C-alpha cells in the first residue's frame, strides 16, 4: 500500500528536480547567449598568408635547415591558443613562398586583396604572414598603396614552425591583437615581431638569424606589444595610406628598377649593363653618404641624358641619411638622394613613382615626403 504522504514527498521531489533542470537549462541558455553576443562584438581580422619561415617545416626541432612555406594558414591559426578570443579571425592563402621568392606580381595581388577587404565594413584589420628576408619591402610597398586607415600588420618568424622555441605563434597572436585594436588605426602598415611594433618605412632586418632581427635604427619602433597588450610611443611622420598619391588600380606590372652595390674601383659599365637589360631606374647602394666612383657618376649622368634612366643614391651602410649635394651637386649628374630609405625601399618608391609618370624634377621631393 502506497501511503499518501509518500506520494506527496515523491511528487515534491520530482518537482524540485524538474525545477533544478529548468534552471540549469536556462543558465546554459543565458551563458550561450552571452558567449554568442561576445563573439558578435569581436572585431573581424583577416589573415592573409604568403608563406615564409613562420610557415616553414624542418626535419627536426633543432635543425637550422628548413623549407619555407609548407604550413597552411588554417593550421597556423589553429596552433595559436586564445587567438579567437582576440578577434573573429579567418585566413586566406595568397601565396606560399619563401620571401626570397617574393615578386611584384604577388605584391600587386596582395595589395589589391587588402584594399578590397578593407573597403568592407565586415573587416576591421588585416594581418599578413610573411617571410622575414623581404618583409620590410612588402610592408613598405603596402604602406604606399593600401588606401585605408584600418590597421595592417605584417608578421613572421625567424624560426620555422617545427623549431624548438618557435616564436611564430606568439608573433601571430600579437599581430592579431594589434590589427584588432582601435588604437592602431591611422598608423599605416606596421611590422610586428618579437614584441615590437615598427613602421613599415623605418624597419629593417638587421641580423641573419636573431629573433630580435627587426629594428628601426634611425627613428625607433612605433610601440610594443606583450601577449596582446600594446602601447604606442610615437606616430609615423611620412606620407602613407590615404595620404599617399600612389595607386595600383589597374596596374599589372611595375617598371624595372635595379640595385647596384658600390665598392672600391667599381666599373662604370655596370650602369650600361642594367640600362641595356631594360632598367628604367637604378638605385646605387653607395659607399658612405651614397658616394660612388667618378666613373660611375659619369655613367649615371649619361644613362639619364641618353636613355632617361633615373639614378637614386642610397647607401650600403646600415644606418644614416644620404644627403643631397653632399660631396658633389646632384643636379650636375641628374641623381636623386634617398634620404634615410635603404636601397631596397628606395627601389620600391622609384618603381611606383615611374609607374605614375613622375619626372626627375619631382623625384627628390618624393624621397623627402615618402
Question: Domain with 74 in it: what CATH number?
Answer: 3.40.50.1170
The pLDDT of residue 36: 43
Do 82 and 164 have their domain in common?
yes
61 has pLDDT over 80: no
In a domain, 136, yes or no: yes
In a domain, 250, yes or no: no
Angstrom distance (rounded) from CA 337 to CA 312: 6
In a domain, 308, yes or no: yes
Catalytic residue of the set 53, 129, 132, 335: 53
Angstrom distance (rounded) from CA 348 to CA 301: 21
Q: Name the residue among 301, 323, 325, 321 with its Cα closest to residue 311.
A: 301
Do 127 and 183 have their domain in common?
yes
Q: Each residue of 313-340: pLDDT tens digit?
A: 999 999 999 999 989 999 999 999 999 9
Question: What's the total number of domains in the chain?
Answer: 3
Do 200 and 265 have their domain in common?
no
High-pLDDT (> 90) share of the chain, %? 81
pTM over 0.95: no
Domain region containing 291: 257-369
Sequence-ordered list of residues with C-beta below 8 angstroms from that of 262, at least 6 positions apart, any chain = 284, 285, 286, 287, 291, 292, 293, 296, 316
Do 226 and 313 have their domain in common?
no
Do 132 and 198 have their domain in common?
yes
C-alpha cell at 150: 584600418
Do 68 and 186 have their domain in common?
yes
Do 129 and 74 have their domain in common?
yes
Angstrom distance (rounded) from CA 75 to CA 126: 18
Do 16 and 92 have their domain in common?
no
Q: Is 293 a catalytic residue?
A: no
Bridge partners (DSSP) of residue 311 are 282, 335
Q: Each residue of 180-205: pLDDT tens digit?
A: 999 999 999 999 999 999 999 999 99
Cβ(206)–Cβ(217) below 8 Å = yes
Summary mean pLDDT of the chain: 89
Confidence of residue 12 (pLDDT cuts 50, 70, 90): low
Q: What is the CA angle 187-189-193, rounded to 5?
A: 105
Do 33 and 70 have their domain in common?
no
| DSSP symbol at 54 | G
Amino acid at each position: 500500500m502506497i501511503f499518501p504522504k509518500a506520494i506527496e514527498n515523491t511528487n515534491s521531489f520530482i518537482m524540485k528536480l524538474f525545477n533544478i533542470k529548468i534552471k540549469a537549462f536556462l543558465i546554459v541558455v543565458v551563458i550561450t547567449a552571452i558567449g554568442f553576443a561576445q563573439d558578435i562584438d569581436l572585431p573581424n581580422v583577416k589573415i592573409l598568408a604568403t608563406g615564409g619561415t613562420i610557415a616553414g617545416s624542418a626535419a627536426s626541432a633543432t635543425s637550422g635547415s628548413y623549407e619555407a612555406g609548407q604550413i597552411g594558414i588554417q593550421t597556423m591559426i589553429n596552433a595559436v591558443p586564445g587567438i579567437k578570443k582576440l578577434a573573429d579571425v579567418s585566413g586566406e592563402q595568397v601565396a606560399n613562398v619563401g620571401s626570397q621568392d617574393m615578386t611584384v606580381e604577388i605584391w600587386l595581388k596582395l595589395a589589391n586583396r587588402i584594399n578590397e577587404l578593407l573597403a568592407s565594413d565586415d573587416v576591421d584589420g588585416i594581418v599578413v604572414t610573411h617571410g622575414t628576408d623581404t618583409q620590410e619591402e612588402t610592408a613598405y610597398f603596402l604602406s604606399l598603396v593600401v588606401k585605408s586607415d584600418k590597421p595592417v600588420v605584417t608578421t613572421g618568424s625567424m624560426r620555422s614552425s617545427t623549431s624548438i622555441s618557435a616564436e611564430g605563434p606568439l608573433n601571430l597572436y600579437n599581430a592579431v591583437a594589434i590589427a584588432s585594436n582601435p588604437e592602431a588605426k591611422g598608423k599605416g602598415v606596421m611590422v610586428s615581431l618579437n614584441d615590437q611594433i615598427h613602421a613599415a618605412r623605418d624597419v629593417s632586418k638587421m641580423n641573419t638569424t636573431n629573433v630580435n632581427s627587426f629594428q628601426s635604427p634611425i627613428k625607433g619602433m612605433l610601440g610594443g606589444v606583450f601577449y596582446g597588450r600594446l602601447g604606442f610611443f610615437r606616430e609615423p611622420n611620412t606620407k602613407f595610406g590615404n595620404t599617399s598619391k600612389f595607386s595600383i588600380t589597374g596596374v599589372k606590372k611595375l617598371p624595372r628598377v635595379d640595385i647596384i652595390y658600390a665598392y672600391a674601383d667599381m666599373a662604370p659599365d655596370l650602369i650600361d649593363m642594367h640600362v641595356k637589360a631594360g632598367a628604367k631606374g637604378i638605385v646605387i647602394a653607395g659607399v658612405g653618404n651614397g658616394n660612388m666612383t667618378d666613373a660611375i657618376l659619369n655613367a649615371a649622368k649619361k644613362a639619364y641624358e641618353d636613355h632617361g634612366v633615373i639614378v637614386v643614391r642610397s647607401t650600403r651602410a646600415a644606418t644614416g641619411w644620404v644627403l643631397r649635394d653632399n660631396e658633389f651637386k646632384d643636379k650636375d649628374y641628374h641623381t636623386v638622394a634617398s634620404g634615410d630609405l635603404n636601397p631596397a625601399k628606395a627601389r620600391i618608391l622609384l618603381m611606383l613613382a615611374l609607374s605614375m609618370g613622375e619626372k626627375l624634377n619631382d623625384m627628390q621631393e618624393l624621397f623627402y615626403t615618402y
